[in-house]
Structure 1
């Protein structure tokens, strides 16, 4: 099977990329359920949302990625979490993340 390059996906223009560690004692199945709840409750019906994925590195660092039509739209989508109080759909996900471990950045597609 041939993989498509991002140039074949014209709608993709930006993304949110955040890394974090999972709290000790939290299972991946608990994490997955919380992620699904967040995506369904916060992003799934939003204009400009193209997708979400969760990755895991060899050092048990997780990567949360939101794909959007632009960098600014990715930032707007992520702003829906709130700054406290947080959106209800995000609370379970936030509870799974080791405090102080999250690092968040936004990127624009340039090629």
Structure 2
């Protein structure tokens, strides 16, 4: 999802690495990620970009780019109050999650 084509508006991001629970398919992850975007993330005015990537070792990363690191953190907190987002989070192997937040410096 790209909401704003202006690269200058990027100020921060959330980067979360994780593995899927046993038996969860990548297709299911993508389906629920799309649901999160249409039912939750599109409403976040300063969220610029959200996407998933897969590493060669079977890990995934969920990336959310926002107008600031603070906004990225705020939107991340809101996942815990959203039914669709909570369903997505249930797919993740909790012990594997490593979430970090970043601020753009140039």
Given the two structures, how large is their TM-score scaled by the length of structure 2? 0.89
User: 2:69 maps to what in 1?
Assistant: 71
Give 1:87's match in structure 2, choosing from 70, 74, 82. 82
Instruction: Within 5 Å, give how 1:2-21 maps onto structure 2.
Output: 9-21=7-19
User: 2:20 maps to what in 1?
Assistant: 22
Gaps spanning 5+ residues in structure 1: where? 1-7
Question: Could you tell me how far 1:27 is from its partner in structure 2?
Answer: 1.0
Which aligned runs of 4 or more in structure 1 are off by greater than 3 angstroms? none
Question: Could you tell me how far 1:101 is from its partner in structure 2?
Answer: 1.1
Gaps spanning 5+ residues in structure 2: where? 1-5
Question: Could you tell me how far 1:62 is from its partner in structure 2?
Answer: 0.3
Question: Could you tell me how far 1:92 is from its partner in structure 2?
Answer: 2.1
Q: What's the CA shift string for 1:15-59, capped at 9, x where partnerless?
A: 000000011111111110111111222211211010101011011
Q: Tell me which protein shows more helix as a share of its residues.
A: 2
User: 2:98 maps to what in 1?
Assistant: 103
RMSD (CA atoms) = 1.2
The number of residues matched between the two structures is 101
Q: Separation in 2 of the partners of 1:54 and 1:90? A: 14
Q: What's the CA shift string for 1:37-94, capped at 9, x where partnerless?
A: 1122221121101010101101111000001011111111111012xxx420112211
Secondary structure of the structure 2 residue equivalent to 1:67:
strand
Choose 1 or 2 for highest CA Rg.
1
